[in-house]
Amino acid sequence: MLSLAGVTVRFDDVVAVREVTLDLPDGDVLAVVGPSGCGKSTLLRAVAGLEPLAAGTVSWDGDDLAGTPTHRRGFALMFQDGQLFDHLTVGRNVGYALRLRGASRSSTRARVDELLALVGLAGFAGRLPRTLSGGERQRVALARSLAAEPRLLLLDEPLSSLDATLRTRLAGDLRQILRDAGTTALLVTHDQEEAFTVADRLAVMRAGQVVQEGATAEVWSAPADPETALFLGYDAVLEGRAAGVLLGEDRDGGTPVAVRRSALVASPVGGVGLAARVVAVSAAPDELRLLLDVEGVGELPAVGAAGWLPAAGDRVTVRVDRDRVAVLDR
Amino acid sequence: MDRPREPLGRLGYVALAAFPVAALGVFFVLPVAGMLHRGIWPEGRFDPGAVLEVLGRPRTLRVVWFTVWTSTVATALSVALGLPVAYVLHRLRFPGRGVVRALVLVPFVLPTVVVGVAIRQLVAESGPLGLLGLDGTPWAIVLGLVFFNVAVVIRTVGAAWESLDRRPAEAAAALGASPHQVLRTVTLPALRPAIVSAASVVFLFCATAFGVVLVLGGLRYASVETEIYLLTTNLLDLPAAAALSLVQLVAIVALLVVAGRLRRVPDPTVQRARVVATRPRTGDVPAILGTVLVLGALAAPITALVVSSLRVDGRWSLAAYRALEGKGNASVDGGGGALFLVPVQDALANSVAIATDATWMSLLLGTVVAFLVTRRTRTPAGRITRGGLDAFFMLPLGVSAVTLGFGFLITLDHPPVDLRSSPLLVPIAQALVALPIVVRTLVPVLAGVDDRQRQAAASLGAGPVRTLLTVDVPVLWRPLLAAAGFSFAVSLGEFGATAFIVRPETPTLPVVIFRLLEHPGTLNYQTAMAGSVVLAGLIAAVVLVVERLRVPALGAW
């Protein structure tokens, strides 16, 4: 089990990571999410032993790793852009860790073929990294990391250099591969969807500190504060009276409420719901996106019922899906 | 189909190319060809037999073998000693790093004659290393060659190492590679092109070294270069000299081709990044110790040189420096009159004036060449032309300065080109010797300019000249100043070609130093030391100024 206690990393006078404490049980996948520059990559590098700690400990099964250099930690780090060795073929990249340990040529080759098949690149062993696409490079990097049979796999924004479609597909693959291999992994990403797909647990980081940690679904449905909610993909945070009107409760002075676009479903006037006026309309391939001025609440994003196209200025009725609204603690 | 317009039309390219090609044709190809012609067509008849006869002589074989083995050993030593220093000076952060970086460059630009003198000072029986008994052995020469060339390895490899992305090494460490394994499997492969470049250019400098071998080898040991000098001046055996020049030319072209192939790696794109130097860690101790050792070894000959210039008749004295005002003593007892027509200090003034002329010439020529060989071209013919020009202007690097100097003497003294009495003759020769360094300093910078910047400027309405001013000139001025400094230093110390063509009434300082050494009479030896110190100090000052400009590489070869 990986344990971080009070981990602090300083660059000259800038504190990049401040007193982070986290536990990662064996077999779990933990995603550290946060906006760019929040210190999450630095945290990952500190775990790998690539950044010296200013304070705190990184330990594995209770052993402090302070004196253990990177190559003896048994933590494989997969970089954002793969960092394949361009002078080696795909096969030699993947077999790198095996050859370091003096594995025989034939057993290395067999394992390399197996891993390449696992990441869906069977037959790529003879290629040079330069000839691969971005997605293929990341798959090779993943296979190379898995070949090291790390006790912990560190993933630094593994998919963020890829385009959206590929990212969604690879995120699913990555989860499957990690599950199948039973790998303990620490993933760092700014993309909350990627984190949601791949990880069992989430830690949200902001300005060098972990602000929330828990099971993925738990964090997702109950963000700790407005900023976390917005980062996790909620579209708006309401406070005070507006929050009460939306929830249909009298909760003046209550805590803020975070709302997803999909929590508000607009339809032609009629039935139960809040009254609203359409401010703007845009059609996306699989849904109708609206910006509404909801009475007593203000402007909010919403979706429209299928097969219906209102115009700006139209009056509509909005139903609120309570499952897609999060009442925040503060 | 409409081709995108090149910034420089084909006609403009040809016109621009005509100038340096003509200059190199008249001042390089003509003299060298003249020299070879004299050797192979003696008395107007083609006589290759004479050449073959020379190549079969036991002495020739001995000279060639001597050149090959000393150069190989010196190259290997330079690389082995240069790598840890390159690492320490370019990857680690410590106070005084800039000054140390500048100082290691000094031996490279020291006049080769001075290097020879300094090393001899060190290994002489009375010197600090006298006990090792190196004086008069080939190892003194190897030592001199390493002293001279280790800076090339440090700078070339250091520049590559400095911008080497840290992350592949980190990725390897995270996969379980120990620091040693990271070095072997990731770092050295990434540095291979730079190491091969450095090694091949060091080998080239070793194989054509003149002053060092002449001073340290005396009559017992000769390299191809000093043998050409000996055959030409003392024995007047031109066919033999020409034959050796030919051998040298062929060998060096072959070397450059082989180096070009070795440099090729599966994937030439290296990940470059601005890397912040780190504080030294415990793992760096061996490299730091090695660096201290090398720095000490570099400082020792120079210190020995300075000390011996201040010792006259066993006492500390400035007499040798005062003697710089004199004209040297022609005889051992000091009663034989003057050795030179002018005082030694005038030779220093001559050197500076000549080096100034040589600098503007090599800069002018080098800038044009650098622009020519970095122009983007889309046609195969264009690429071949560009590659050909690039190789053509590197030729002075591979041809013996002695051959060049003697060629000047025999071809440029009659119409259509009569420069015998022109004060420009020496600067022209030195400019040619410095040309490759200028070109190699400017080319990487110009080649590194993303062509899309020029396209962006053009698309915003800038004409070719405006584009040049906006995109190229701002990145070029610093390397240009650096190239000027290197060129000045090289000209100041040039000896091989200058020795032939310099006129007795306007000698340069390296020539005077060599002649003083040939006549080791009263105070002459100390005067040579004092002159060497002055020259070395002057060149060190120039290099320190250049270093402040922070141009990354001493050219990319």
Q: Give one DSSP letter per residue of A265-314, joined into a string.
A: EEEES-SSSEEEEEEEEEEETTEEEEEEEETTTEEEEEEE-TT----TT-
Give residue for tokens 């790093």.
B97
Give residue B522's pLDDT: 64
Task: Please identify among residues 142-171 of chain B the ones whose CB lies closer than 8 Å to any CB of chain A.
Answer: 167-168, 170-171
User: Could you read off the pLDDT of B219-268 as tens digits, one per residue?
Assistant: 778 888 888 888 877 777 777 888 888 888 888 778 777 776 776 554 44
Identity of the highest mean pLDDT range in A12-16, A69-73, A212-216, B501-505? A212-216
Residues B206 and B66 sit within 8 Å (Cβ to Cβ): no
How large a percentage of chain B has pLDDT more than 70? 88
User: Cα separations (Å) of B164 from A44, B85, B189, B271, B549?
Assistant: 22, 16, 11, 7, 21
**Is B267 close to A128, i.e. CB distance below 8 A?**
yes
Contact B171 A77 (CB under 8 A): yes
DSSP-derived secondary structure letter, B26: I
The alpha-carbon gap from B90 to the nearest alpha carbon of chain A, in Å, equals 20
Q: Is B59 an 8 Å CB contact of chain A?
A: no
Residue in B152, B106, B150 with CA at minimum distance from that of residue B538: B106
User: Which residues is A143 bridged to in the sheet?
Assistant: none
- Cα(B110)–Cα(B149) distance, rounded to whole angstroms? 11
Q: Which own/partner contact pairs does A239-242 have at CB distance under 8 Å and 24+ positions apart? A: A241/A296, A242/A296, A242/A297, A242/A298
pLDDT exceeds 60 at position A79: yes
- B173, B189, B269: residue with CB nearest A70: B173
Q: Do B171 and A86 touch (CB under 8 A)?
A: no
Burial label for B65, CB within 10 Å (0-12, 13-18, 19+), is exposed
CB A87 to CB B265 under 8 A? yes
Q: Which pLDDT value is given to residue A24? A: 92
Measured distance CA(B128)–CA(B323) in Å, rounded = 26
Chain A residues lying within 8 Å of B167, measured CB to CB: 79, 83
Question: Is A86 in contact with B271 (Cβ distance < 8 A)?
Answer: yes
**Contact state of A48 with B266 under an 8 Å Cβ cutoff:** no
Q: Grade residue B337 by pLDDT with cuts at 50, 70 and 90.
A: low
The kind and range of the H/E element at A77 are strand A75-78
Q: Beta-carbon neighbour count of residue A195 at 10 Å?
A: 27
Mean predicted lDDT score pLDDT of chain A: 87
Q: Taking Cα atoms as reference points, which of B109, B112, B108, B88 lies closest to residue B100?
A: B88
Q: Does the CB of B410 have a partner CB in chain A at under 8 Å? A: no
Max avg pLDDT among A133-147, B295-309, B320-334, B522-536:
A133-147
Look at residue B268 in the predicted model and tell me its pLDDT.
Answer: 44
Residue B195 sits at the chain A interface (C-beta within 8 Å):
no
- Please check the confidence at residue A84 and state whether its pLDDT lies above 70: yes
Please name which of B528, B533, B524, B515 lies closest in space to residue B214, comparing C-alpha atoms: B515
B271 Cβ under 8 Å from any chain A Cβ: yes
Residue B12 sits at the vertex; the CA angle it makes with B6 and B15, to the nearest 5 degrees, is 150
Which residues does A50 contact at the CB level (< 8 Å), separation at least 6? Answer: A70, A77, B170, B173, B174
Mutate to test the interface with B, among A65, A87, A111 (most CBs of B within 10 A): A87
Least reliable range by pLDDT among A178-187, B318-327, B328-337, B536-545 = B328-337
Confidence at residue B424, expressed as pLDDT on a 0 to 100 scale: 81
Tell me which chain A residues have a C-beta less than 8 angstroms from the C-beta of B271: 86
Chain B nearest-CA distance from A145, in A, is 7
Token duo for residue A177: 């591969």
Res B269: pLDDT: 46
Residues in a beta bridge with A10: A15
The shortest CB-CB distance from B267 to any of A70, A73, A87 is to A87
Phi, psi of B224 (to 5 degrees): -55, -45
| pLDDT above 50 (res B554) | no
Count of all residues that appear for chain B in the document: 557
Which of B171, B177, B269 is opposite residue A83, by nearest beta carbon? B171
Tell me what pLDDT residue B84 has: 93
Q: Return the minimum-mean-pLDDT range out of B26-30, B453-457, B505-509.
A: B453-457
Angle at B467 between CA B465 and CA B473, to 5 degrees: 85
Higher pLDDT: B530 or A254? It is B530
Smallest CA–CA distance from B188 into chain A, residue: A87
For residue A92, give the DSSP letter: H
A29 part of contact set with chain B, CB < 8 Å: no
pLDDT digits (tens, 9 = 90+) for B415-436: 666 666 777 888 888 888 888 8
Whether A76 has its CB under 8 Å from any CB of chain B: the answer is yes
CA distance B86 to B198: 12
- Give the pLDDT band (50/70/90) at residue B332: low
**Hey, is A264 helix, strand or coil?**
strand
The answer to whether residue B280 neighbours chain A at the CB level (below 8 Å) is: no
Phi, psi of A293 (to 5 degrees): -105, 100
Task: Please state, rounded to an integer, the average pLDDT across all residues of chain B.
Answer: 79
Q: What is the pLDDT of residue B5?
A: 46
Tokens describing residue B329: 């003593």
A103 touches chain B (CB under 8 A): no
Higher-pLDDT residue of A76, B379 = A76
Rounded to the nearest angstrom, the minimum Cα separation between A191 and chain B is 22
- A–B interface: beta-carbon pairs under 8 A: 81
Interface check A96 vs B, CB under 8 A:
yes
ipTM over 0.85: no
Q: What b/e sequence results for A240-267 when a residue is b if at least 16 CB atoms lie within 10 Å of its CB, and e otherwise?
A: eebbbbbbeeeeeebebbbbbbebbbbb
> Beta partners for A326?
A258
- Give, in order, the Cα–Cα distances in Å from B158 to each of A52, A258, B189, B269, B484: 26, 55, 15, 18, 21
Which residues does A214 contact at the CB level (< 8 Å), separation at least 6? Answer: A201, A202
Range name among A161-165, B101-105, B121-125, B518-522 with the lowest pLDDT average: B518-522
Q: Which of residues 119-138 of A touch B (CB under 8 A)?
A: 128-130
Question: Which amino acid makes up residue A226?
Answer: P
- Nearest CA-CA distance, residue A91 and chain B, Å: 14
User: Sorting pLDDT into bands at 50, 70 and 90, what band is A94?
Assistant: very high
Which of A40, A31, A41, A127 lies closest to A84 in space, CA to CA?
A127
Average pLDDT (B390-407) is 78
Chain B residue at shortest CA distance from A85: B168
Could you give the angle at the alpha carbon of A264 between the alpha carbons of A260 and A269, nearest 5°?
165
Give, for A326, the enclosing helix (H) or strand (E).
Answer: strand A325-327
A183, A153 contact by CB (below 8 A): yes
pLDDT band, very low/low/confident/very high, at B551 (cuts 50, 70, 90) = low
Residues paired with A154 in a beta bridge: A77, A186
Task: Compute the Cα dihedral for B481, B484, B489, B492 and give only its sign.
Answer: negative
CA distance B94 to chain A (A): 15
Q: Do B176 and A74 touch (CB under 8 A)?
A: yes
Per-residue pLDDT at B371: 84
**Cβ(B225)–Cβ(B94) under 8 Å?**
no
3-class secondary structure, B461: coil
> Quick check: A175 pLDDT over 70?
yes
Q: Cβ contacts (< 8 Å) between B270 and chain A: which residues?
A: 86
Does the pLDDT at position B4 exceed 70? no
Task: Report the range of poorest mean pLDDT among B3-7, B44-48, B347-351, B496-500.
Answer: B3-7
pLDDT at A305: 74
- Res B555: pLDDT: 45
Peptide bond preceding B416: is omega within 30 degrees of 0, i.e. cis?
A: yes
Q: Contacts of residue A85 in chain B, CB cutoff 8 Å?
A: 168, 171-172, 185-186, 189
